[in-house]
Each structure stands twice: as C-alpha cells, then as structure tokens.
Structure 1
Amino acid sequence: MGDSFIGFKKINDILTETISAVESSREQLFDIVEHTQNECKNIESELKKIREKVDIIICEVDKLEIAEKRSRIELANVSKNFHVYNENDIKNAYEKANDLRVRLTLKREEERTLIEKRGELEIRLKETIKVLEKAERVSKQIGVATQYLKGNAEDILSTVGDLSKRQFLGIKIIEAQEEERQRLARDIHDGPAQSMANILVKAQLCEKLLEHDVERTKKELGSLKNIAKTNLNDIRKIIYDLRPMTLDDLGLIPTLERYIYNFMEESNILVELKVLGDIVGFESAIEIAVFRIVQEALNNVQKHSHARKVNILVEKTFTRLNISISDDGIGFIIEDEIIDKDIRSGGFGLMSMKERAELLNGKLKVKSSPGMGTKISLSIPLNEEEDICEK
C-alpha cells in the first residue's frame, strides 16, 4: 500500500510539472498566435493597397500604349510627308513620340515592380496563414493535453492498461470544447466586441457634433442604433448556440420548430416535424438531450446524407418518449461496431448521441443502407418502473 502511495505521489508530481510546462508553452504559443494574426492583418492591408496601385497603373499603361502608338503613327506620317510639314512639325512629332515612349517604359517598369511585390505579398500571406493555422491547431492540442493531464492520477492509472471508447469520447469532447471556446472567442471578438468599439466611437462623435451639427448628429445616432441592433442580434445568436433559452421559456417543441425553420432556411432541406401526445412537463435534462440529439442528427444530414427531406416524429406514451429521425439520403453500411468505428475514425456524432441517451437510461438505434436513407430511433423511459421492467 505504501509503495502504491509513493508511486501515485511520484506520478502526481510528474503530472504537476508536466502540466506546468505545457501551460507555460501554451501561453507562449498564444503570443505567437496573436503576433501571427496581427502579421496577417498587416500583410492583407498592404496587399490591398498594392492591388489598388496595380489596377491604377495597368490602366495608365494601357492609356500610354494607345497614346504612344498614335504618336508613332503621327511621326511616321509627318516624316513621310516632309514636303507638307516643316522641320518644326517633324521635331515636335519626334519629341512627342520619344516622350511617350520613355514614359511608357517607366510605367511598365513600375507595373512590373508592383506586380512582383504583389506576388511576394500573396506568397507571404499564404505562408503566414499556414503558420497561423498550425499554431492554432497546436494550441488546441496543447489545451486538450492539459485538460486530460489534469485528471486524477488514480483515474489515469486505472485506465492506462485498457483504453476504452469512453476515453476516446472524452478526448473528442475536450477537443470539441476547445474548438467551441475558440469559435466563441472569435465570434465575440469579430462581432459584439468590434461593434461595441464602433458604438463607442459613434457615441463620442455624436457628443462632439451635438452642439454644432444637429442633422449630422441625427444621422450618426441612426447609424449607432443600427450597429446596436446588429450587435444585439449577434449576442442573441451566440447565447442561442450555447443553450436555446426557448427551452426554458416555451419548451421542447417550440424550440425544435424554431431550430428546424432556421435549418431549412440555411440548408434548403425540407424537414417535417410531427408530434404525438402532450410533449410538455419534461425534466430539463431530457429536453436538452432530445434537442441536442435532433440538432446533431440534422447536422449529420446536412454534412453527409445529400438528403432532400427529413421526417421527425416526437411521440409521448404513458411510459416513454420516442423520437424518430429519418431522411431520404444516400445512407451507408452499418457494421456491428458502427459507433465504435465512428469514434475511432475521428468523429463522435453518433457516440455523443448514444451517450446522451444512455445518461437518461434511454436507447438509441441507427438503421441505414446504401441508397435507402438513414433512420435514428431514440427511446427514453419517463419513470423508473418502466426502466426496471425493461431490464
């Protein structure tokens, strides 16, 4: 027992030091990511200016080429008809042609230089974006490793010899959490945070204009109102993605109806929802599980099935809540260990749905075959007696 305790302590010490080193590296990596993001923005800004200059100079070169061609024709005509034009006319035509030729040569050189610079900037931008993507990917992986290492030493030891599908799911869930946090951070930074900064600038401008230009102030206030409205919509969308508030306010069916409506607008896939029974009064855990399972199923339909129509049936009996989600998509071959294969191949959609069902003592089944679509069936017991009878 004493030896085991010492072993656990050593492993905990190693884990603590490892986590500390990993977190320190992660902070440094965050600095690299931030620096690379700023570098991308600077290159994009410079590239935009160069492209504008290239467009302008191309137009100038085209115009000079036309003018230079005309001047050569005019010089040839004057030289050919020397008995009609005097020496001064010939001199002027020659100087004009020569001047245009010199200007055209210089402009072409300037065009070539700018195009080369544009090409170099485009290559730099691509390389910088690659570095940024790698840094973000490594940052996410370090986050996953940190969260995983922070687990209890005894739990880690007990699972070292036999990695199960739950461990795979745990890793995938942590990855999903990191991705979701990163996405939320970006959404908030690019949406509400930017809008709030814009609102502050507009408010300061209105404050300065108020005593000098009332009409301009009214116009700026209108713009400020639109920015605030857009910001509010962005925040509501972020909140809805985290947890639909309508689940608490209106219940499961209205929330599903709203989500299905938005899904159809976005995907152009027809979804028909049929409800049997009185679908009210469920525990919050059941409602959120059903909503997330339907959400994940529709997400899979949009990504993989090529379906044109989805039928969803929500049925409440005396003892169970049954949900059926079927599509007319391409389907797939279901093997004995389809869910294990799903998690081990890098995905966790089916596994996530199955885990949600099992947490509520429910069952989730998937039926599919090539060309025949896919059907997902979920059944959740609504009382303990029913669950005991099932067992």
Structure 2
Amino acid sequence: MENKMHIEQLKKIIHDLNKNIESSLREDKKSILQVSQEANELLLKLQYELNMITEDIKDIIRQLENLQNEYEYSKKELINITNELKNNNGHNNQNKYKGKYNHTIQIYTMLKEKQKIEKEMQDKRKDLEKQFKEVHELSKITTESINRVNIIIRELDNHEDNINKNNYKNKIAKAQEFERRKIAREIHDGPAQDLGAIIMHTEIIKKYIELDKGKAKEQLTILSELAKDTLKYMRNILYELRPLDFEDNEYESIIVDYVKKTKEKYGMNVETRFLDPENMLNKLESSVKLNTFRIVQESLNNIKKHANATLVKLKMEVVNNNFVVIVISDNGVGFDMKSKTDSYGITGLYERVELIGGDIRIESEKNKGTRLKVQIPLNIERTLKIS
C-alpha cells in the first residue's frame, strides 16, 4: 500500500511538471508571437514607405523628362538666335540671345537639382528595400520558432502520461529557457534599446516638422543612422541564428567557414586543427553536429567579448570513435575561476553541454588565458536539438 501511494505521488509530481513545461512554452509562444506581430507591422510600414517613394520617383522622372525636353528645345532656339546674330548684329537679337541664354541656364540648373533629388530618392528606396529584406528574414525566423514550439507542445501533449519521458521533457524545458534567455539578452542589449531611441526621435520629428524644418531634418539624419545601426545589429543576430545545412556540406567545412568569417569580421587570429582520420565528424547525427557547432560558436563569442586575446586555438578530435573532444584555448586576460565564472558567458556553455550529456572543464588564470575542454559521447540515445 505504501509503495502504491509513493507511485501515485511520483505520477502527480511528473504530471505537474509537464503542465508547468507546457505553460512555460505557451507563454514563450506568446512572446514570439508578439515579436512576429511587431515584425509584420514593421513590414507593412516599410511596404507603405516603399510604395510612396516609388510613386515619388515616378513623378520626379516625369518632371525630369519634361525638363530635359524643355532644355533641348531651349538649346535649339539658342542656336537659332546665335545664327541670326552672325548674320545680323541687331541690338534686339542680342537682348533676345541674353534672355534665351539665361532661360536655358535656369532650366539646366533645375534639371541638375531634380537629378540630385532623384538620386537621393533612389538611395532611400534601396535602403528601404534592404530594411524590408532584413525584417522579412526576422519574420521568417519567428515563424520557424513558433512552429518548433508548437511541435514541442504537441510532443508534450502526446506523451503526458508517459513517466519515462520525464527526463526528456525537463531537457526540452531547460533548452527552451536557455535559448529564450540568450535571444532575449541579444534583443534587449541591441535592437530593443535602438527601437526605443527611434521611437523617441520620431516623436521629436513630429514636433519639429511644422515648427522648425531644419531641426526636423537633423533629427531625421539621426533617425536614419539609428535605423542603420539597428539593422547592422539585427544582421549579426540573424547570422548567428541562421539554420545550418549539415546534409549538403561537410561538417569540418562549416566549422572552418564560421571561423574564417569570425576572423574577417572581428580580426581574431584563430588556428584550427581536426584529428579525425576516419571522417567520423561528418558521420555524426545532425543534432550532435548542431550542438558541437553551437559550443564552438558560443566559446568564440565569449572570447571575442571578454578575453582580449590575440591568438585562439581550436582543436576537434574524435577519440576511439566514442567521443568528440573539443579544446579551445586563448592567450587573453583570463579570469579568476572562483569568482568570475558567471560573468563571462560560461554558465550558458555548462548548460548546453549538460543538456547533451557531455562533460566540460574550464581552466583559467588572470593574465594567463583560458582553456576549455568539452567531451561529448557519440552513443547519445536521444540528443536534444538546440538551435
């Protein structure tokens, strides 16, 4: 009887845990939906602006065509008057020449001004098209995230009463929370603050637009720069979150390509070394490839942000066809392991390695660099796919 009661208690605990996970996922789904809605609203706004600027460009082109025709006609008349002057030096013809000459110069000046305006409009349209493309990519990512969350929720619903799924569901919850915090930090530190500043400058422009057009123009310049910086930051986030194609590309080449882009972008000197004589890395399951890639990615990001290193060494090795071993070391400033482990993005690495059943060891001293070693078993029964 006592054992039966104990079993029922365990079932209740697991049931409650599953409900909490579902509730958390549904709340996160709401947050993603909100981001998706904001992205879609921004897409509509950008589409409207694109339509408006396109119509303005069409109008300025029509004006340019009319001015061009008028300019050509005026030039011909000027030539005719010049020929008349050659044949007849009458005073009236000279006055007529001066008048027509000034009129031609005036048309020419207007033509050049309109051409300048058209170029500015074309540049603005290109910038809007670029923004539209970036926001469209963000919208696609949020849609994919919602689909992934829906799949996880359905999985939880289908296996709610299965006690053996408890550990798996806890991993899903941890992974989801881990990724949510990571994306939230990235958005909070960059685009969220920039968008707040953009809104503030928009309100300022509204006040100045009628009262002081000069100041309004200054604020528009500031607003444009803020928008460009926000797009640049978003491009970096999108690059880091982009889906990876392990089916059509060699795993080693994906790592090498990422390291190359990191070196080019941030000036980091990264040496890579692969010890994989039987090409086991390329035979790994996609989930293992994905998680080892993210470990490398997050480690290099931590070094970029905190280490101030001039040299980074990355080694990936398959040991006895049983383990993938990743060793990353740098000659940066290092840190005190006793007091700073939570300050350098290390917690996230521990969480990710734990989720896929691996071991991690980090060694560091002040002014002596940092060494990270991760060992992941290849016989993982069910490796959680964390993007």
Q: TM-score, normalised by structure 1?
A: 0.41
Query: Greater relative contact order: 1 or 2 (C-alpha under 8 angstroms, separation 6 or more)?
Result: 2
